[in-house]
Chains A and B, each alone.
Chain A
Amino acid sequence: MPLTEHETWDAGDMGCGELVLELRLRLLAMPGRVLKLVATDAGAPEDIPAYCRMTRHELLQAQHPLYWIRARTPS
């Protein structure tokens, strides 16, 4: 079943700390909603899943360079 995103962010070739810092701000502003991220950086396939595991944002689907992430809700 195709995923439906509430917002899309094309991060282009942004990577590493820059990418996850900007991603953090965007996800915290949309709790419970789904962000479709476009990230072409070669490190993204490893980084985005790791970032989501550490921060409790839910990586719903990953098909580089596309990532669907449900932003965590405040605990």
Chain B
Amino acid sequence: MSGKFLVSLTHAKNDTDKATVAFVVANAAVASDKEALVFLSIEAVRLAQPGYADDIHEEGFAPLKDLMANFVKAGGKIYVCSPCFKKRKLDETQLIDGAVVVGGAKLVEFMGEACPSVSY
């Protein structure tokens, strides 16, 4: 099995259930040999800051920081919405491993002509 798979996430501590499940699904995608990408936008950009996800642990799931680290370790990519990041005045020099600040063109290129996606 191959191909691309996009998980779009817009939540962080405002909805830790969605933030967690997004990475659970992303891990399923990367484990299935997909070229998997999580696009963090709106509030979710906060997850790209080191330490932010450390205290997010939904009942019944692994801690979010572990889900994120495992995703990157398995080859998953994390894109961080540049204007969303800038709006929140976050520090672009402080990013978790595997996270890259991008604008819309980079996301459009990844998705190409056909790319399955799921949004949280």
Size category, B interface: 10 to 19
CB-defined contacts of A19 to chain B, threshold 8 Å: 103
CB-defined contacts of A48 to chain B, threshold 8 Å: 105
Q: In the assembly, what is the distance between CA of A16 and CA of B103, in Å?
A: 4
The smallest C-beta distance from A59 to any residue of chain B, in angstroms, reads 12
CB-defined contacts of A46 to chain B, threshold 8 Å: 79, 100-103, 106
Whether the Cβ atoms of A20 and B104 lie closer than 8 Å is: yes
Whether the Cβ atoms of B101 and A53 lie closer than 8 Å is: no
Give the contacts of A1-47 with B (CB-CB under 8 A). Answer: 13, 15-17, 19-20, 41-44, 46-47
The 8 A CB mask of B79-118 against A (1 = contact, 0 = none) is 1011101100000100000001111111011000000000
Q: In the assembly, what is the distance between CA of A44 and CA of B105, in Å?
A: 9
Whether the Cβ atoms of A15 and B83 lie closer than 8 Å is: yes
Whether the Cβ atoms of A54 and B104 lie closer than 8 Å is: no
Whether the Cβ atoms of B106 and A15 lie closer than 8 Å is: no
The smallest C-beta distance from B109 to any residue of chain A, in angstroms, reads 4
CB-defined contacts of A62 to chain B, threshold 8 Å: none
Nearest to A19 among chain B residues (CB) is B103
Nearest to B112 among chain A residues (CB) is A54
Task: Spell out A's residues near B (CB within 8 Å).
Answer: 13, 15-17, 19-20, 41-44, 46-48, 50-51, 53-54
Task: Spell out B's residues near A (CB within 8 Å).
Answer: 79, 81-83, 85-86, 92, 100-106, 108-109
